[in-house]
Amino acid sequence: MPESVPPDEELSRPAPLGVPDKLTPGPAETRPAKVSEALSFAFDDKTSLIVGGLWLLVPIVGWLAISGWASEAQHRLLHNHPDPVPRLRLRDFSHHARRGGAAAFVELLGFGVFWAVAVGLVALLNASLLAAGLVAGSVVVPLAVLCAGLVVAITLLGTVTVVYDAMLTRAELTERLADSVALGEAWREARPMRRKTFVTYLVFAPITLALLLLGGLLCGVGVLPALVAIKLTGAHLRYQLYEQRLARGGKPLPSLAPRALPSERHLVRELPLGSVEKPR
């Protein structure tokens, strides 16, 4: 049976311009986040990995600059920039360092909370196993306690990882510390993607250890470029997860458009207001 024809007044309405105010996305088919794709993205510019490793030799400020560089990559990926990974140049060092404060703080906070929870769970599990073994006098009860403890540990550490991912994504895209540490907002954004995020990081974690081990085998000097590669790989994974969340109807974060870096400003000529930037 053919569909009913809408009223004439509906047909006479002009077509809306631009994007409608309220979007009602349907069920989107999104592919899972691929660690291999993120690794390929990170190793596309090996020169920047080496330069970034040298930047990490600068205490504190070096890591801030690498965090700001990864934030710039996030913005460019999100806006389909033709050069998603800007070449690391000394002229851009202070620019990246000023932008990386929020992301670096969230990273430090996330690692601190993760390891504090992990150490606390290990201590609690050991004490529970010892108490169960002394009271029961058999192997069955300690094994049951061990299984229950592992389930609790995986659940808690997985929750910390999922919230950390959401907070770091907020830090890289908004570049505002107040928005980054908003736990309620981060959890609301992370909850629909918690399983995908956990599985992604479950695959990413051993690859991280492998990169650090490989870097250490290169006379130890390869650890710093490996850290830069891990940072950029993680940024691309968070971009993939963020795109999946948007495809499922998630609310977009307030993200600024990519800005020309100090080393890139010579490529454009500033024209009066209302005109378009043109290459020199």
- pLDDT tens for 189-239 read 889 898 999 999 999 999 999 999 999 888 778 899 999 999 999 999 999
**Can you tell me which residue has the tokens 């990559």?**
73
Tell me if residue 256 falls in helix, strand or coil: coil
Higher pLDDT, 13 or 69: 69
Q: How many Å apart are CA 142 and CA 132, to the nearest integer?
A: 5
Higher pLDDT, 159 or 4: 159
Higher pLDDT, 109 or 136: 109
Residue 260, both tokens: 């020309």
Q: How many Å apart are CA 60 and CA 97, to the nearest integer?
A: 10
Element (H, E) at 279: strand 278-279
Backbone angles phi, psi at 198, to 5 degrees: -65, -45
pLDDT digits (tens, 9 = 90+) for 160-200: 889 999 999 999 998 888 888 888 888 998 898 989 999 99
Higher pLDDT, 20 or 155: 155
- pTM (predicted TM-score): 0.76
DSSP 268: E
Residue 256, both tokens: 């600024």
Higher pLDDT, 277 or 77: 77
Q: How many Å apart are CA 34 and CA 136, to the nearest integer?
A: 46
**Can you tell me which residue has the tokens 């592992």?**
150
Average pLDDT over residues 89-102: 92
Element (H, E) at 74: helix 61-78
Q: Are 165 and 238 in contact (CB under 8 A)?
A: yes
